[in-house]
Amino acid sequence: MTDLPFTLEQPLDVSDARIASRKLADQRRAAEKEHEALTIQAAEAEREYRKAYARAFIESDGIAEARKASAQASTADLSYMRDLKAGMVKVKAEQLRGLEGERSMLKSLIDWSARLDPFASVDRAPQR
């Protein structure tokens, strides 16, 4: 198979199209699973942060602003991890959008190939 999409010099045949489609589908399924796992991790990090923040706020002394500052300071690492995990969910979502763009491009290449060589799309030569 050619190295899609940069070295395509001739139309895709059915085999090339199937391989590329399967590879892209596999990549999408893997990215969806990873996105789901990252979303769960982000939710768990948010829950852990909120519990720790509430505990730190209640255990702090002073007026509300001082207690808030103390709670924020003692949960800074959890806040960082929460924000980092939420960011990774966004990164994976962008990767999924990129795969959707690649799927669209592959469909265009398959359509282009079919117009250039309609017999390649059905794995047969023209009948005479």
pTM, entire model: 0.73
Is 16 within 8 Å of 2 (Cβ atoms)?
A: yes
* pLDDT score at 74: 96
Average pLDDT over residues 92-114: 91
pLDDT in tens, 4-26: 444 556 777 888 888 989 999 99
Q: What is the mean pLDDT of residues 91-98?
A: 96
